[in-house]
């Protein structure tokens, strides 16, 4: 069976088997706290949105999006690292990527992220954000992809399907035009993990339990995507 697979499918099968085996092994031996070096030649770039003077959106009770993005990115990265994937982070602390916060800092910040993605030879990119709406009723995670990018759409819908199960929703991944997804050569998605404009969702998003469940759902969505290739 293996010899009939092309290189990409073989990589996918190997990645999936390694992921399943390593996940089980680490659960049994080390719990959730162990780090590994990369065992799989597949690079996942995790992009924590905003940072520094750009805190993104602010929750109704004061949560800074940039702070939550960092926490969610670290947790998401751990799932991949524990399964032997190579993980590259665009941002690992609360600071921005723009140098000095002078005029044009936002564009410098985005350009730096693009450069990190390009230099890493990324296989997929996941950009991590939190949402906000003018009314408080909207809740739930929403996944976006670059319009016209079929692979990105497939990846986005796979991730959306997994977070939908967690939220008991039936949302579709949404297309758009975003700097990170437009300038990435590989399948890339933006995950808005929830709405900080809803007080209850803001509270939940700040809990470790919610963070672990949502990031795990995103990880599962990526694995389902790889399995489908």
Interface stretch with Zn ion, choices 15-23, 56-64, 71-79, 105-113 (CB under 5 A): 56-64
For residue 191, what are the β-bridge partners? Answer: 128, 143
Least gap, CB of 172 to Zn ion (angstroms): 20
Give the integer Cα–Cα distance in Å for 164 and 143: 10
For residue 85, what are the β-bridge partners? Answer: 40
Cα dihedral sign, 202-44-226-40: negative
- Closer CB to Zn ion, residue 69 or residue 82? 69
Q: What is the total count of residues that contact Zn ion (CB under 5 A)?
A: 3
Give the integer Cα–Cα distance in Å for 188 and 123: 9
Residue 2 phi/psi, 5° resolution? -60, -40
- Closer CB to Zn ion, residue 12 or residue 142? 142
- Closer CB to Zn ion, residue 71 or residue 229? 71
Least gap, CB of 29 to Zn ion (angstroms): 37
Write the Ramachandran bin of 96: left for phi over 0, alpha for psi from -120 to 50, otherwise beta. Answer: beta
Least gap, CB of 25 to Zn ion (angstroms): 35
Q: Which of 188, 174, 187 is nearest to 140 (CA)?
A: 174
Cα dihedral sign, 44-54-200-203: positive
- Closer CB to Zn ion, residue 39 or residue 71? 71
Using only C-alpha atoms, what is the Rg of the chain? 17
- Closer CB to Zn ion, residue 49 or residue 59? 49
Least gap, CB of 112 to Zn ion (angstroms): 16
Give the integer Cα–Cα distance in Å for 156 and 144: 6
Least gap, CB of 93 to Zn ion (angstroms): 17
Binding mask 126-145 for Zn ion (x = CB under 5 A): ---x----------------
- Residue 56 sits in the site that holds Zn ion (CB under 5 A): yes
- Residue 64 sits in the site that holds Zn ion (CB under 5 A): no
89-118 binders of Zn ion (CB under 5 A): none
Write down how long the chain is: 229
- Closer CB to Zn ion, residue 56 or residue 221? 56
- Residue 49 sits in the site that holds Zn ion (CB under 5 A): yes
* CA-angle at 37, arms to 34 and 42, nearest 5°: 120
Interface stretch with Zn ion, choices 4-12, 27-35, 48-56, 158-166 (CB under 5 A): 48-56
- Closer CB to Zn ion, residue 81 or residue 192? 192
**Contact positions vs Zn ion (CB under 5 A):** 49, 56, 129
């Amino acid at each position: 069976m293996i010899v009939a697979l092309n290189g990409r499918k073989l990589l996918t099968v190997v990645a999936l088997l390694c992921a399943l085996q390593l996940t089980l092994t680490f659960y049994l031996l080390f719990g959730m706290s162990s780090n590994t070096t990369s065992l799989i030649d597949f690079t996942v770039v995790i992009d924590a949105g905003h940072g520094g003077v750009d805190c993104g959106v602010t929750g109704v009770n004061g949560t800074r999006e940039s702070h939550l993005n960092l926490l969610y990115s670290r947790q998401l990265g751990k799932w991949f690292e524990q399964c032997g994937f190579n993980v590259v982070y665009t941002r690992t602390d609360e600071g921005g990527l723009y140098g000095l916060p002078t005029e044009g800092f936002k564009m410098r910040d985005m350009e730096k992220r693009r450069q990190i993605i390009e230099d890493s030879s990324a296989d997929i990119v996941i950009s991590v954000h939190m949402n906000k709406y003018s009314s408080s009723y909207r809740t739930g995670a929403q996944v976006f992809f670059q319009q016209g990018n079929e692979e990105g759409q497939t990846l986005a819908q796979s991730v959306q399907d997994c977070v939908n199960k967690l939220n008991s929703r039936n949302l579709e991944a949404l297309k758009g035009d975003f700097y990170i997804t437009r300038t990435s050569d590989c399948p890339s998605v933006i995950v808005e993990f929830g709405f900080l404009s809803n007080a209850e969702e803001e509270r939940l998003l700040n809990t470790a339990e919610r963070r672990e469940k949502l990031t795990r759902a995103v990880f599962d969505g990526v694995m389902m995507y790889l399995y489908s290739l």
